[in-house]
Amino acid sequence: MKVLILCTGNSCRSQMAHGFLQSFDARIQVESAGTEASGKLNHKAVEVMKEIGIDISSHTSDSVEKYLDEEWDYVITVCGGANESCPAFIGKVKHRLHMGYDDPSHAVGTPEFIQSEYYRVRDEINAGFRKLYDEEIKPQLG
């Protein structure tokens, strides 16, 4: 089972989703990429994932170009805000899904509020990808 998770910058939401999905089942090959990959991970995303025991610090922020020639069981976009354009993926894909989440790196306010946005989005991604795994992916793995 191969899953590609796409976002714009590939530094925050797609990285968290990648970490969660990989932690659910080692039989899934998970990659993440961005249409405008930032080349680095969002440090707050790494921090809030580490707090729950998932280390994404070794992930890389890659361009979607790296994966265009591969075949995928799932390609999932996770960008959500109206100001963002979700990438279109025209490769060989069995299932295309969109699971939009707010970008916590755009949160404005007190440090406490910004941190709470990272927790909220992390927990929403966890719930969404857990549901996808339980209901669609796990049954296909047998």
Distances (CA, A) of 46 to 42, 78, 80, 113: 6, 17, 20, 18
What single string gives the DSSP state of each residue in 85-96? -PPP--SEEEEE
Active site residue 7: yes
- Nearest 10 degrees: CA dihedral of 16, 20, 26, 32? -30
CA gap 7, 137 in Å, rounded? 20
Please identify which of the residues 86, 93, 97, 107 carries the catalytic annotation. 86
Cα radius of gyration (the chain): 14
Please identify which of the residues 48, 79, 99, 132 carries the catalytic annotation. 79
Q: Which residue has the tokens 């910004």?
A: 114
Active site residue 12: no
Whether the Cβ atoms of residue 107 and residue 74 lie closer than 8 Å to each other: no
Please identify which of the residues 5, 7, 41, 56 carries the catalytic annotation. 7
Catalytic positions, written as ranges: 7, 79, 86
